[in-house]
Chain A
Amino acid sequence: MEYIPNIIFAILLIGMVSYFASNIRKMLRNIKLGRAINRSDRKKERWSQMAKIALGQSKMVRRPIAGFLHVVVYVGFVIINIEVLEIVIDGLTGQHRIFAPFLGSVYDVLIATFEILAFLVLVTVVLFWTRRNIMNIRRFLARELKGWPKNDANYILYFEVILMGLFLTMNATDLAIQQGVLNGTFTSEAAMHYVHGNSITGSFPISSWMTPWYENLSFESLYMIERACWWAHIVGILIFLNYLYWSKHLHIMLAFPNVWLAKLTPKGQFTNMEAVTAEVKLMMDPNADPFAAPDNDTQDETPAALGAQDIFDLNQVQLLNAYTCTECGRCTAECPANITGKKLSPRKIMMDTRDRLEDVGAIINKEGSWKDDGKTLLNDYITTEELWACTTCNACVEACPIGIDPLSIIMDMRRYLVLENSAAPNELNVTMGNIENNGAPWPYNQMDRLNWANEL
């Protein structure tokens, strides 16, 4: 009987972690639907980029208020996880505060730090909520945030409040029990379990303010509250873990690989399409035989589409980008097209890509393999009006705090429109015709290129 809580805890832990792992496997499977891309070059720069931008949050603080608040929650999250580790070990072994005897006074410092961070996180979360729901901040009011994305953002904040509240209440009642034991009020064996040695274990700078609320309760009541909070807190964390996959909060893990894999070449350098290079070289080669039969070994392969019509045509880093996006909208807030009221929003490009990827994944889950649903990312999720509004100015790429590149997706889709569908806006067709015929986007004669020199 005495091991039942430990067994329940172990089952819960294994079950929830496995479910999370199975969703992550699905996510990886979905990402692999994209084209392979080699981003394993310049490793040193990649590690340092990851250390600076992901770990060091260097781009977050470019917006000082949101950046500072985020750093508080980030540091709180990372450090409080040390306590979660202790809670998990306690749960599995049936111990209470197993780290305390080993760490001595360091433990007090740790618990005090957790408490202060938990409190700061609470304050920050309230500020975040206010920014999102009360203050009219433009990037939180965009059309792509209506419905689930807005709720998702708020749920996370409520979650944080509950978790931090439970954590502090747990500590407050723990302290009340310890005080009762040390002053001789509580003498049962169960109560003794809370005390290591003959002084208070842990230091509780925040929850000690809450302890007086529980002063007159019996040990049994305190024990019930403390255990209930302990269980609710750890189960809450496991639920939170599983919620990640369904929310915009995957970034807490994916930001790291995403930044590592981000583009290192100058922002102005757009990818070279090698399939096109081969064709252009053939065209320009005076010795090429235009009637040559294709190589036998390449005959069976359907040539890959030029550009991107659907998620299958995007590369795996672009798909990882979509899962990593936190929908903060810094990209959209800097986008010249969006600022001036056009439909284009780089954030929506990322959200649409993820939605489409998830829809495709859901079909694979259901059918066992991909069955065409008659939809594509282009047109059914992202419209041509959005794509043609982009000035390729890279403001979105520069703004993203975690290295997402919405512009590369826009470009790949434009390429599909032009190279596969010949569907450029008419004025651009005229421009391209001019370039082809006169070597300039306007209808001037190439022979007149030096006329300006006569005006000197």
Chain B
Amino acid sequence: MSERIKVPTVAEFIAQDKQPEVLFWVGCSGSFDDRSKKITKAFVKLLHKAGVEFAVLGAEESCTGDPAKRAGNEFLFQMQAMMNIETLNGYEIKRIVTACPHCFNTLKNEYPELGGNYEVIHHTSFLKDLIATGRLTIEGGKFKGKKITYHDPCYLGRANEIYEAPRDLIEKLDAALVEMKRSRRNGLCCGAGGAQMFKEPEEGKKDINIERTDEALETGADIIAAACPFCNTMMSDGIKAAEKEGKVEVLDVAELIANAEDL
């Protein structure tokens, strides 16, 4: 790792009178959460390797408002949305890629009605495209013989019907993709959505992330692949609770690919 990757901001691009090819929307989790930052960095390394001219908003990025909207606070959501739209439209942003399905869903589906119209791409679809167009190549040798199960994030899967892009990427790793009992449109939630991430669950018999992690462990997988920083957190907590740390890893699809490339 000789060369240090520089992460340019959109402001820097504009200062040079240039437009980035795509805006990487990092999201709150990807910006601040220690575990999620690793996903962000892995994805940036892949963008860099593929020679994508990306930029981030940096300090000008603010929460999309997703948790506020799901919690019922439409007012706060729209405040956030309109602020972000002002920033994005000010920079004439056309394409956005994000590693967070919640940001993805909100930017793609809920910003247009408030005046924000962009092509929004989830990072798994984006990576798949980079590979399809030959800008990124992966060698799967590193994961040979490993069993990987993929957990569908609700806001990527059911909410936006993206089931195959992350699976296609995993299959490129030469690993065995094993499905959980409940997958694709029947995939069980990790328990984080709808602002649940930020509160204690209501009284019940079991936590949702434990139920889902147990199901993932039943497949006998060595790796649980996720495509959402919040799912990642929930499943990682589930692995801790099941005392499987060090035996089973929870990794984002971007991390899997970056690892395969020793990035």
Contacts and interface: CB of A to CB of B under 8 A. Distances in A.
B79 interface: yes
B205 interface: yes
Given A268-B105, A424-B72, A280 B58 contact: no
B218 interface: no
B79, B160, B198 — most chain A CB neighbours (10 Å): B198
Interface stretch (A152-160, A246-254, A429-437): A429-437
Interface stretch (A48-56, A77-85, A360-368, A382-390): A382-390
A273 interface: yes
A374 interface: no
Contacts of A450: 7, 9, 31, 56, 58-59
Contacts of A391: 154, 189, 191-194, 196, 208
Interface stretch (B109-117, B132-140, B143-151, B238-246): B109-117
A162 interface: no
A397 B204 CA distance: 22
Given A340-B205, A446-B59, A432 B76 contact: yes
Nearest to B84: A439
A306 B188 contact: no
B73 A340 contact: no
Contacts of A435: 63, 65, 67-68, 76, 80
A334 interface: yes
B212 to A, nearest CB: 8
Contacts of A228: none
Interface in B57-72: 58-59, 61-63, 65, 67-72
Interface string A266-281: 1111101100110111
B4 A272 contact: no
Interface in B169-194: 185-186, 188-189, 191-194
Contact of B158 (A284, A398, A432): A398
A452 B56 CA distance: 12
Interface in B204-260: 204-208, 210-212
Contacts of A425: 199
B159 interface: yes
Interface residues of A, number: 69
B109 A427 contact: no
A418 interface: yes
B14 interface: no
Given A340-B206, A450-B7, A395 B160 contact: no
A340 B71 contact: no
A284 B197 CA distance: 29
Majority secondary structure of chain A interface residues (helix, strand, loop or mixed): helix
Given A337-B204, A449-B32, A440 B198 contact: no
Given A427-B200, A456-B44, A393 B69 contact: no
Contact of A307 (B70, B72, B188, B204): B72
A428 B7 contact: no
Interface in B87-132: 105, 108-110, 113-114
A337 B208 contact: yes
B262 interface: no
B49 interface: no
Given A340-B205, A427-B200, A272 B188 contact: no
B28 to A, nearest CB: 4
B165 to A, nearest CB: 16
Contacts of B212: 336
Contacts of B204: 337, 340-343, 389
B142 interface: no
Contacts of B210: 340
Given A272-B114, A450-B58, A455-B41, A280 B75 contact: yes
22 contacts: A266-B105, A266-B108, A266-B161, A270-B70, A272-B110, A272-B114, A277-B78, A280-B75, A307-B72, A388-B202, A391-B196, A394-B158, A395-B186, A398-B158, A418-B71, A424-B71, A431-B199, A441-B67, A453-B6, A453-B7, A455-B37, A456-B5
Interface of B: 4-7, 9, 26, 28, 30-33, 37, 40-41, 44-45, 56, 58-59, 61-63, 65, 67-76, 78-80, 82-83, 105, 108-110, 113-114, 154-155, 158-161, 185-186, 188-189, 191-208, 210-212
Interface of A: 265-270, 272-273, 276-277, 279-281, 283-284, 306-307, 334, 336-337, 339-344, 385, 388-395, 397-398, 411, 413-419, 424-425, 427-428, 430-432, 435-436, 439-442, 444, 446-453, 455-456
Given A341-B204, A389-B204, 19 more contacts: A266-B109, A268-B105, A277-B114, A283-B79, A340-B210, A342-B202, A392-B194, A393-B189, A395-B186, A413-B72, A418-B72, A428-B195, A431-B199, A435-B68, A439-B28, A446-B62, A447-B59, A449-B59, A456-B44
